[in-house]
Structure 1
Amino acid sequence: MRFRTIIATVLLTLGVLAVPSPALAAGEPTDPNIEYVGRWSSTYVPQWAGAYLRVGFTGTTVALRQRNTIDFWYSIDGGAYRKATNVSGTVNLTPTPLAAGRHTLLVSYRIVAGSYTGDAIFQGLTLGAGQSTYKLAKPAKGVEFVGDSITAGYTATNMALSAYPWIIGENLGTQHTQIALSGACLRELTAAQSTRGIRCYGLENRYTRMSFNDNAPEWNFNRYQPAVVIVNIGTNDTGHGVNSTDFRTGYTNLLRIVRERNPYARILALRIFKGSWAAETRQSVLDRQAAGDTRVSYVDTTGWWDGATMSGDGTHPNDHGHQVLATKLQPFVATALAG
């Protein structure tokens, strides 16, 4: 008996003898049937805008478990998004029970940034007796959108879920996420460097991080690899006094970093919708092409923007504006996916 124990210990050490892991309870954050799209931390907190979770479930009811107060949006069976505001604890998502059978659930949290400090920690699902989860079919390709408040959906009805990246991703049936933050710049600026006297988070430095926060860990790009990355950044750099040379240097560097982290993706660099930095953005693309990157392209958005009808403040798209921009950009994304 002692000999068998010693042999078993050696085999365990070598990883030869497998020990069955305990079954994972349906609906727990560790449930392998729950798909986390975008950048999520190991504590099941979504980072950046546009991260979401999706899962299939059986039965007639489902509830979401939260620790403290948060806002989130959810859709059941592909229906309209509903917003839960200032909720905590066990949140019933089916006050009217569903028909018995198989259903789908998508949940997206309001990003915790700026003055909003909700508790975006997913703690699992509560299902009825005898109910279970199941894995949904996963799209073959994904799209990542990189940008500022315009990409994040600031001022849109459902924020990230009403923004042009989300609309395009859903229309094309792909995974999608928004690495975007309201107020973000291309260049990292301290208050002293900014003509506005306030700091600006720079995506050139923070794109590779799990979140936009200072000292956030590096993101593991093996978690997912998008087929297409769309970059739309620069609106805030204008107001902070960045000059042409610095912008071009920073943009070329960002495109290089995006390529290093996503070696097989097609990269689309957009002329920002209001037109600033068009020459610099295009030249940065030419710089990268000259360096041998044949899968990066410039998208000229001239004529896409009408601030009078597409925005309430002249800068941030309203719901109609996002729909227009999605219609304009979607063919470029579809072509890149096909390529």
Structure 2
Amino acid sequence: MRLATLLLSGLVSLLPLSSSTILQNGQLRETHFQETKIASVTSTSTGWRTYEPNAPEISYKGRWDSKHISWWAAPGIKFGFTGQNVALTFGEHTSPLVLVAYRFGGLDWQMTNITANATHQFISPSTRGLNLTLSPQLPQIFELRVTNWGLGVQVRAVHVSSNSTLIKIPNFSKSIEFIGDSLTSGMYATYEAFSGFGYNIGAGFGDVEFSITAYPGICLTDAVCWDNPRGQTYQWFHTQDTSPRAAKIYGTEPEEWDFSAHPSADLVIINLGTNDNNTHNNLTSAQYLTSYLSFVSKVQKVHPNAQIILMSLWKSFSAVGNSYRQTGAFVDEIYQVYQHYKDEGYVHYFNSTGVLQHNDYGPGSHPTDWGHIKVASHMMQYIRLKFGWEFGASGPEIQHETLYWNNEPNY
């Protein structure tokens, strides 16, 4: 259930802020999302200059299709601009009231719910930090991310002030591709994909591009798993995910993803098998091992210069005597895949055992926000030590609304 996108009853669009329901430890978490919807803007509207969604100045992050519809987990857009206004018009294939995060420059993320077939203004003359007179940071940058994994937006147009322009922001030189299921996509985390360890790692490095091709319930093996019609050994090669909205728009014929049209990944991180390991999906360890061996080879052909990291699985935690113990999944099989490719030099093994403790897991058998941060932190240090990647983030917010502190010294 995508709790972050359910509106409270009685909400009306006239309110300056929109509120949504997020459950935090089973209790309602106070939210104050910005109300950004404005009157429609067209190419002939006074005071605005309109760019089509295929404008070269707009950089699309993650997977977007030929209709400029976003897919998978935490996709986004990024561009520079001049002037004092930025608005986006969203198309009919935008999920109702999907929650997005947006920010100006390196300031904190803001949240808002998006309406299909509507225009939302994100930057205005009152935006904090806009057009600084002292030590201005140019170009001015706008960034937007879909927070969810099963919902998305369709970009129909980008608008700036009539005398302003968009500016192409060059991609970072390094990129990461995440391939996973509900764990990588942040299911049950506060802001879903936007709180998941995939996003935390990609955004945490600061100076890398990243794409999170992950969807809850999906198997590695090409099989029906938790209502997902195909596994990642098939779906990863396609633009759309396995969501009901993808089936509604494209049926059983999703677009193939054109890898050649995008920069090849330098690093691929795979966390798959938790769903294959569930008895509900009736798959054997032999099927899983065969699928994994084949999949790694195919990933390497797509990204021939990439280093591939296979993550061990932390399936669950259970009470044992007077303590708790982690239960893995396909421990031997994943290590066998690593051993098979080890001498070729591009496959590596990240042992996640011990990173999480039982209280880093929520009731839905998925990491808490803090659990995701722990996984990301350990993986980032592994990448840093293994491949020499230095941390590029140096201040701008990565995780949203995790600012907890205590100012009371005597208690």
TM range (shorter): 0.7 to 0.9
Q: Which has the higher strand share?
A: 2
- Counterparts of 1:175-190 in structure 2 under 5 Å? 175-190=209-224
2:296 to 237, 251, 255: 255
1:36 aligns with 2:60: yes
The answer for the alignment partner of 1:208 in structure 2 is: 237
Q: Which amino acid aligns with 2:211?
A: T
Secondary structure of the 1:273 match is: strand
CA-CA distance at 1:273 after TM superposition: 2.5
The 1:49–1:199 alpha-carbon spacing in structure 2 relative to 1, beyond 3 Å, is closer
CA-CA distance at 1:166 after TM superposition: 1.4
Secondary structure of the 2:115 match is: strand
1:267 to 278, 298, 308: 308
1:301 to 324, 328, 352: 352
Count of residues in correspondence between the two structures: 303
Give unpaired runs (5+ residues) of structure 2.
1-48, 133-138, 243-251, 316-327, 390-411
1:279 to 332, 340, 351: 332
CA-CA distance at 1:26 after TM superposition: 5.8
Q: Which amino acid aligns with 1:316?
A: H
1:220 to 249, 255, 258: 258
- Counterparts of 1:53-72 in structure 2 under 5 Å? 53-68=77-92, 69-71=96-98, 72=100
Secondary structure of the 2:72 match is: coil
CA-CA distance at 1:84 after TM superposition: 1.8
The answer for the alignment partner of 1:74 in structure 2 is: 102
* CA distance in 2: counterparts of 1:304 and 1:201, whole angstroms: 30
* CA distance in 2: counterparts of 1:121 and 1:337, whole angstroms: 37
- Counterparts of 1:44-55 in structure 2 under 5 Å? 44-55=68-79
* CA distance in 1: counterparts of 2:56 and 2:184, whole angstroms: 30
Cα contact 1:230–1:269 (8 A) shared by 2: yes
After TM superposition, the score normalised by the length of structure 2 is: 0.69
* CA distance in 2: counterparts of 1:178 and 1:64, whole angstroms: 23
1:161 to 194, 211, 214: 194
The answer for the alignment partner of 2:111 in structure 1 is: 83
1:130 aligns with 2:163: yes
After TM superposition, the score normalised by the length of structure 1 is: 0.82
- Once the two structures are aligned, what percentage of the paired residues are identical? 25
Cα contact 1:77–1:105 (8 A) shared by 2: yes
CA-CA distance at 1:110 after TM superposition: 4.9
* CA distance in 2: counterparts of 1:177 and 1:259, whole angstroms: 16
> Which stretch has the larger CA shift, 35-44 or 80-89?
80-89
CA-CA distance at 1:105 after TM superposition: 1.1
4+ runs of 1 displaced by more than 4 Å? none
* CA distance in 1: counterparts of 2:213 and 2:97, whole angstroms: 20
The answer for the alignment partner of 1:15 in structure 2 is: none
* CA distance in 1: counterparts of 2:358 and 2:51, whole angstroms: 44
Q: Deviations over 1:283-314 (max 9, x none)?
A: 01212336xx3201111111012132x22226
Q: Which has the higher helix share?
A: 1
CA-CA distance at 1:30 after TM superposition: 2.0
CA-CA distance at 1:241 after TM superposition: 3.0
